[in-house]
Chains A and B, each alone.
Chain A
Amino acid sequence: MDAKTLSGHGWRRRTAIITAGMLSLAGLTACGTGDSGDSGDAAAGGASADGPVEVDFWGWVPGLEGLVDTWNADNPDIQVSFHRMTGDDGQKVEAAVDAGTGPDLVQLSTHNLPDYVIQGRVQDITEYVTEHEDNYTEASWASVSFDGKVYGVPQGIGPSGMMYRTDILEQHGIAVPTTWDEYLEAARALHAADPEVYIANMSPGEIGQWVQEVQQAEGSWFGIDGDAWTVGVNDEASKQVAERWQTLLDEGLVTTELMWTPEYWARVNAGDIATISYAAWFPVALAENAADTSGRWRVAPMPTNEGSDNQGDSGGAAVVVLDGAQDPAAAAEFASWLNGSDDTQDTLITEGGLFPSTKNGLASPALRQEQEFYGGQVINEVFIESAEHTPSTWTEGPNWGTAQTAVLDEFAKVVGGSQTFTEALDNAQAATVADLEARGLTVKD
């Protein structure tokens, strides 16, 4: 569950991964912690001259509790209190910030960051964090920088890879596809050999899988052209991805379950789905939810487009200092330590399941451990390679939430059979542009 939330985006579907009972629990906890805005007040008021500075931090990465304890033991002057985010906490943050009762620090999908910047919900922390810039990958630092100012400390990215059932491919004598053309051939051969088996699941609820392929094809939902935004939900790259999945869908070569549902995991466990292309944090979730298939999976690079060795990235996260934080310097200091210190990298990687956006994290031996579930493969070698081949063409935009909702709603109609992926993208494009214009932002065609 937590591994999934690492990517941070798609809160709506995010909750779905939680098995049913846990969803209710999450709902209850979310309600219960609704009052913890009080602790935000306390923290805000805590920055007095005589006592220690108190920093209220909300996040979702597993293992953060232990790291916060370590920090608190070593830093009596800056005491951090941690709240684990569940359910719709991501949305609650905004209301809390606007009401002046938000936490000081929060973990945020970088997809959502531009909107936070525009709405003034995050603080410019350039002066506190610039010294650490060298320790972060260029792409991740760019994802928290807007207009020459830095608004967060990167915490993990989501480079793509393809998890595949080596036993199923071998059984039918199918080579691991390395290009999308080979992938389509493999899909046909596989389904012909065994009608119960599909090459992939096309989840109409999982935006990250779509985004990583759009990015691989060097597309971007948003762009900046002078003083105007451009919107590319239906750009050439996206249409290329659309055609690929339209073919797979039309020929009946993919299942269309919503990811993270019991139904989805039942099919994964039953061996109905031969490959899953997703981010570096996904293997942990797969191992948790398909324990019975241990040893049968391997990880290969996501298939590539003809004439390119590009990989994709479904999005990263950052820890940001929210508007209303009384002591941004202290908050930023903790965030820099949490995400960048040599002392935290191993925990974030092994317990948190994070794929690091830091250079010391990428160099950590913890990243290169053999994974029993994947037949003893050092799977992160694939993802490290992938991160190096991710094009830097993707730009985050100001209404990610609207665009994502529009795309997913339209995709649902595609798998329902009432329109094509290309039509879906055109509709979502129109909705996204209309929303930006309604906000008074300038949009260029």
Chain B
Amino acid sequence: MVAQAPSAVVPRRRVIGGGGRWVPYAFVTPFVLVFLTFMLAPIVIAVVNGLYSSQSSGLGFGGAETVFVGLRNYARAFADTDFLFSFVRVALYGVVQVPVMMVIAAVLALLFDSALVKARRFFQFAVFLPYAVPGVIAALLWSFFYQPSVSPLVQGLQAIGVDADLLAPGTVLWSVANVSIWSNAGINMIILFSALQSLPRDTFEAARLDGAGELRIALSLKLPMIAPAVMLTTLSTVIGTLQLFNEPQVLQFITPNISSDWTPNMAIYAVSTLGRDAHLGSAMAVILGLVTLVVSLVLVRFTNSSARGGAR
């Protein structure tokens, strides 16, 4: 039987394969092409661009030529304290925004998963709906809530004696965070909720028989069991934080307290469009990409080790 097996398998493989070795390559070609064109090529172009600079001489009316300048653009980027501080700003933003968002998403998901909520589908839809609103539109909507003269929110607060300036230098960061939480809590909730729904119900039944309450089940059973989904959503939220752009870019139109280089992405945009230096912009984009990569790797590593810890 052992001897026969190969002869039984080989002809069958021939029939199914039919075309030889190139078949698997043919199947992955579309992916590889798209990957090369839209993922790898832009990165390579940005890296190369970042090593060049458009140089003129004298008054410049003799025209400009593109010359190789090595790491000079990187030196300029690292000498730009406003650009560096924009990383600090999004870090501060992330430290607050990510946990708040994740707690809201997790609490909502757990509530929807429990039997406590009536009209579950309606509320789920309501929580998810903001995600369907494009980020720019969401920021526009909220911009009306933030401007005192047109805001029912600010006027309402004033009516009860609270004088709130939601666009002041100290508060605008949290106003931006609010927009992004409003927009994205829904999708994170859905991901966590799906993870919860796929958990085996008999475990909870057993816990209930042992006398565990719903809260205890949620915190001690459900949450640890969906840890991978929590980590996934956290990771994508952290990356979104580093790439913060839409919300502050729109809110910039209604408050001077968001500068043109308020987040790393905005700084890149300002340098390459308003400042017309795509080479410096490329170098800054590469820096942002590397920072994002490092942060992601650290997070993934942390996730893996904590997952192993959980398994132990």
Contact = CB atoms under 8 A, between A and B. Distances in A.
Interface of A: 11-13, 15-16, 20-21, 23-24, 27, 88, 91, 94, 114-115, 117-120, 146-147, 204-205, 224, 227-229, 256, 258, 260-263, 266-267, 270, 398-399, 401-402, 404-405, 408-409, 411-412, 415-416, 418, 435, 438-442
Nearest to B167: A263
Contacts of B56: 118, 439-441
B216 interface: no
B17 interface: no
Contacts of B169: 416, 418
B256 A412 contact: yes
Given A94-B276, A399-B275, A262 B149 contact: yes
Nearest to B63: A120
A335 B90 CA distance: 47
A154 to B, nearest CB: 19
Interface of B: 53-61, 63-64, 76, 82, 136-137, 140-141, 143-144, 147-150, 169, 250, 252-257, 259-261, 270, 273-277, 280
B73 to A, nearest CB: 9
A82 to B, nearest CB: 24
A262 to B, nearest CB: 5
Nearest to A227: B58
A263 B257 contact: no
Contacts of B137: 24
A118 B58 CA distance: 11
A95 to B, nearest CB: 9
Contacts of A415: 256
Q: Is the interface of A mostly helix, strand, loop or mixed?
A: helix
A20 B144 contact: yes
Contact of A13 (B253, B259, B276, B277): B253
13 contacts: A91-B273, A118-B63, A227-B58, A258-B256, A260-B253, A261-B254, A263-B254, A266-B147, A398-B60, A409-B261, A412-B256, A416-B256, A441-B57
B57 A440 contact: yes
A204 B256 contact: yes
Which of the listed residues B63, B275, B277 has the most CB atoms from chain A within 10 Å of its own CB?
Answer: B275
Given A119-B64, A227-B58, A256 B256 contact: yes
A312 to B, nearest CB: 22
Contacts of A266: 147, 149-150
A11 B253 CA distance: 11
B256 A24 contact: no
Given A147-B61, A441-B57, A442-B59, A409 B253 contact: no
A258 B255 contact: yes
A147 B59 CA distance: 10
Contacts of B148: 263
B197 to A, nearest CB: 35
A16 B61 CA distance: 33
A16 B260 CA distance: 14
Given A119-B64, A399-B276, A12 B260 contact: yes
Which of the listed residues B143, B254, B270, B276 has the most CB atoms from chain A within 10 Å of its own CB?
Answer: B276
Contact of A438 (B57, B76, B250, B253): B76
Given A12-B252, A408-B256, 12 more contacts: A20-B144, A119-B54, A119-B64, A263-B150, A263-B254, A266-B149, A402-B274, A439-B60, A440-B53, A441-B56, A441-B58, A442-B57
A58 B275 CA distance: 22
Nearest to A225: B59
Contacts of B254: 16, 258, 261-263
Given A94-B276, A266-B150, A227 B59 contact: yes
B54 to A, nearest CB: 7
A412 B259 contact: yes
Nearest to A410: B259
Contacts of B59: 147, 224, 227-229, 398, 441-442
A418 B169 CA distance: 10
Nearest to A119: B64
Given A118-B63, A263-B150, A408-B260, A24 B140 contact: yes
B260 A409 contact: yes
A319 B260 CA distance: 28
A196 to B, nearest CB: 13
Given A23-B140, A261-B253, A263-B254, A405 B260 contact: yes
A397 to B, nearest CB: 10
A270 B149 CA distance: 10
Contacts of B275: 399, 401-402, 405, 435
Nearest to B143: A20
Contact of A118 (B60, B136, B147): B60
B140 A404 contact: no
A263 B149 CA distance: 6
Nearest to A112: B276
Which of the listed residues B58, B148, B261 has the most CB atoms from chain A within 10 Å of its own CB?
Answer: B58
Given A115-B276, A120-B63, A416 B140 contact: no
B270 A405 contact: yes
A404 B63 CA distance: 23
A100 B129 CA distance: 42
Contact of A263 (B57, B61, B147, B252): B147
A27 to B, nearest CB: 6
Nearest to A418: B169
Given A23-B140, A441-B59, A262 B256 contact: no
A119 B61 CA distance: 8
Contacts of B58: 227-228, 441-442
Contacts of B256: 204-205, 256, 258, 408, 411-412, 415-416
A409 B259 contact: yes
Nearest to A265: B149
| 8 A-B pairs with the lowest CB-CB distances in the bound complex, closest first | A266-B149, A440-B55, A16-B253, A412-B256, A118-B60, A204-B256, A263-B147, A20-B140
A398 B254 CA distance: 29
A91 B272 CA distance: 10
B250 A23 contact: yes
A262 B150 contact: yes
Contacts of B280: 438
Contacts of B257: 412, 416
